[in-house]
Homo-oligomer: A and B are copies of this chain.
């Protein structure tokens, strides 16, 4: 792992790092914020998954999370959204391939070799984080925005023993039933829709049979979000939570759109949500 940059922010350290990913077969960058409390003990970690077209830089430079993470003592990890590099297959499309890995392990060619973002986020990157940062990996939360909200919900639902807390900003809640999701899952996983269920938060929630429910899931959604009706469909996820008795705090905010101004407005509530659950573990 190579340090790209490190600067002081709210008495903590905001860094960018680069490493060779084996599962993605390319170099990857990510950001980590380490708050001042890490000087004395290992800290809970919250992973933030970004949306379509984003890198780690959007949330790191625009959301203002460092202020509240520094207050609460949370390490924040922001990965990239897809494999990168001239040798990685891509398409001339903003909502598929580069910048749009959808946090799945692709099974279809030409994507399967590099587009293994699910394994990257849930296994390879956490191992690297554990080795290099003062983290308490027994206390992990996950959140994200849009495609990253889809990633956070699905990853948490598939790994409740790893992630004790989960939240999302304007998540894609039912990718099997929206254009972004149909395009991505169809290309990455093939056109047998039964294979999509493992990456659809609404279907995963509907099919839950265990009792490892989360204490509460927090979702914020702006009502002036251009993607709400066609792409995001949070009501389907809210209905699924109700069906299986999963507690959900689904907040709908008049006037807010899909931008980082929306995320900046509510990130404090999300980090407090994670902190409360992770420190009660």
Q: What CA separation (Å) do A66 and B8 show in the bound complex?
A: 21
Q: Which residues of B contact A8 (CB under 8 A)?
A: 222, 224, 253, 255-257, 261-262, 265
Q: Is the CB of B10 within 8 A of A265?
A: yes
B264 touches A7 (CB 8 A): no
Which listed residue (B67, B222, B257, B260) contacts A264, Cβ 8 A? Answer: B67
Given the complex of chains A and B, what is the CA–CA distance between A106 and B73 in angstroms?
Answer: 49
Majority DSSP secondary structure for residues of A touching B:
mixed
Distance, CA A53 to CA B71, complexed state (A) = 32
Please measure, in the bound complex, the distance between the C-alpha atom of A224 and the C-alpha atom of B222, giving whole angstroms: 39
Residues of B within 8 A of A260 (CB): 61
Question: Interface on A for B, CB 8 Å cutoff?
Answer: 7-11, 14, 61-62, 64, 66-67, 222, 224, 253, 255-257, 259-262, 264-265
Known: A62-B62, A64-B264. 17 other contacts (CB 8 A): A7-B256, A7-B261, A8-B224, A8-B253, A8-B255, A8-B256, A8-B261, A8-B262, A9-B261, A9-B262, A9-B264, A10-B264, A10-B265, A14-B261, A61-B260, A64-B64, A66-B261
Q: What's the Cα separation between A64 and B251 when bound, in Å? A: 22
Report B-chain residues with C-beta under 8 Å of the C-beta of A9: 261-262, 264-265
Q: How far is the CA of A93 from the CA of B262 in the complex (A)?
A: 36
A222: chain B residues at CB < 8 Å are 8
9 A-B pairs with the lowest CB-CB distances in the bound complex, closest first: A64-B64, A9-B261, A8-B255, A7-B261, A8-B256, A10-B265, A7-B257, A61-B62, A9-B265
**Closest CB-CB distance, A7 to chain B, in whole Å?**
5
Within the assembled complex, what's the spacing in Å between the Cα atoms of A9 and B261? 5
Residue of B nearest to A63 (CB): B64
CA distance A261 to B261 in the complex (A): 17
- CB distance A259 to B64 under 8 Å? no
Q: Which of A7, A259, A260 has the most CB of B within 10 A?
A: A7
Chain B, Cβ-Cβ closest to A266 = B10
- Shortest C-beta distance, A152 to chain B (Å), equals 22
- In the docked arrangement, what's the CA distance between A111 and B12, Å? 43
Contacting residues, chain B, for A10 (C-beta < 8 A): 264-265
Query: Which residues from chain B contact A64 at a C-beta distance below 8 Å?
Result: 64, 67, 264
**Which B residues touch A265, using CB under 8 A?**
8-11, 66-67
Report Cα–Cα, A261/B63, bound state, in Å: 11
What's the minimum C-beta distance from A33 to chain B, rounded to whole angstroms? Answer: 10
- Point out the residues of chain B lying under 8 angstroms from A253, CB to CB: 8
> What residues of chain B lie closer than 8 Å to A261, measured between beta carbons?
7-9, 14, 66
A-B residue pairs in contact (CB < 8 Å), sample of 9: A7-B257, A7-B259, A8-B261, A8-B262, A14-B261, A61-B62, A62-B62, A64-B67, A66-B265
